[in-house]
Structures are given as structure tokens and as C-alpha cells.
Homo-oligomer: A and B are copies of this chain.
Amino acid sequence: MGHKGVLVVVSGFSGAGKGTVMKELVDRYGNYALSVSMTTRKMRPGETEGVSYFFVDRSVFEQTIAQDGLIEYASYCGNYYGTPKRWVQEQLDSGKDVILEIEMQGALKVREKFPEALLLFVMPPSAEELMRRLTARGTESKEVILRRMERAVQESEGIENYDYIVMNDKLEDCVAQMHAMIAMAHNRPEQKREFIAGMRAQLGALVKGEK
């Protein structure tokens, strides 16, 4: 296929600071589109259609699944959540780099459908720091924090599936690094197919002309 934009999948331990990093990235640089999920959950006060989510009813969601219209989806607390393929493709075709924040299992599903996706895993500088950040929020019980840490242990087994690790020690550095990784991905052969094809044709024509 070869899109103009790069599909970026961002995962990381709960507490690693993904949300902050991505918000900063989008605010600071112009070329990013944060993926908007489709959901069957009811709209809440303050939420906006097409910004917070695409709100649809169950039959529309299931029809979209049937038509292979979602990059990945899951059901949570009786509601569906998924990533609409068409919206993502439109953004990529228009030249935007699309960022998708998603947990590990979803990330691997995305790679199946978009082998050219760039998979980034955000990590804290240490396990102690992760614990400190989770505790510092002050909003979660000890049990919830423990569950998140256990989840991190599980997820740490799959980090090798990602293209790059993004260390979130200092926010500034982390955002700059993530931006550089995405910018660089535009130089992969998968992203340069038109250029390579053009070069082949030009070289062939020049050689023919010289003979």
C-alpha cells in the first residue's frame, strides 16, 4: 500500500506517562493526528462526537466488525471500543502521522493489519520510579496500584515486539526522541516506495539512452 503518513502505535506500562507524552507531542508538532476510537458507550457531558469518540449504536459497531472496518476492537464493561480503519487510512493518505495509544495485545493486532506500523513502548527509567508515579497520583488504592504493577510484569515480557523503547525520564527529552523516531520512519523503504520506483525507472531510462 504505502501511505504518506506513518501509523504510530504507542504502548507502555500504566504510569509510564504515555498520555502526557502524546499530548505534548501533538501540541508541539504539527503533523500528528491522535486516533479517535469508535464506541457503543453513551456520550458523557463534556464529550464531543468525533473528538472524544465516534459514538455509534451496537448494530453499527457490529456491522463495522463484520465489514472488517476496525483495526482492532475489544469489549469492556459491556461496551465495544475499536479503532476505525477508514479514518486512520484517510489521515495517513492525507500525509498525517497517526498516533494510536493502545495496550500490547491490541498493538500486535494492529501490526498484523498494518505491518508498516511503528511500534513504540514507553518505559519509566526504573521500576521504583513507576511505583512512585502510580502512588503520587494519590487517586488509586494500594490494590489498584499492585494490579497495575502486576500487569507491568506481564507486559514486560512482550517489549521485544516493539520497534523502539522510548525512555520517559525527562518529558522534554522523551517527546523530542519520540518525534525523531517517527520522523525517521519516513525514511524506511516501505515509506519511500514511490521514490524507489521512480529511481528505478529513471536509472533504466538513462542506461538505455547511453547505449
Contact = CB atoms under 8 A, between A and B. Distances in A.
A87 interface: no
A127 B202 contact: yes
A204 B154 CA distance: 10
A181 B184 contact: yes
Contacts of A51: none
Interface string A181-211: 1001001111010011001101111110011
Given A164-B184, A165-B192, A204 B146 contact: no
Contact of A127 (B159, B167, B203): B203
A199 B164 contact: no
A79 interface: no
B189 A167 contact: no
A152 B188 contact: no
27 contacts: A121-B189, A126-B199, A126-B202, A127-B202, A131-B206, A142-B210, A146-B207, A149-B203, A149-B206, A150-B207, A153-B203, A156-B196, A156-B199, A156-B203, A159-B189, A160-B190, A160-B196, A164-B187, A165-B187, A165-B188, A165-B189, A165-B192, A165-B195, A165-B196, A166-B187, A177-B187, A184-B184
Given A145-B210, A181-B184, 9 more contacts: A127-B202, A127-B203, A128-B202, A142-B210, A149-B207, A149-B210, A150-B207, A159-B196, A181-B187
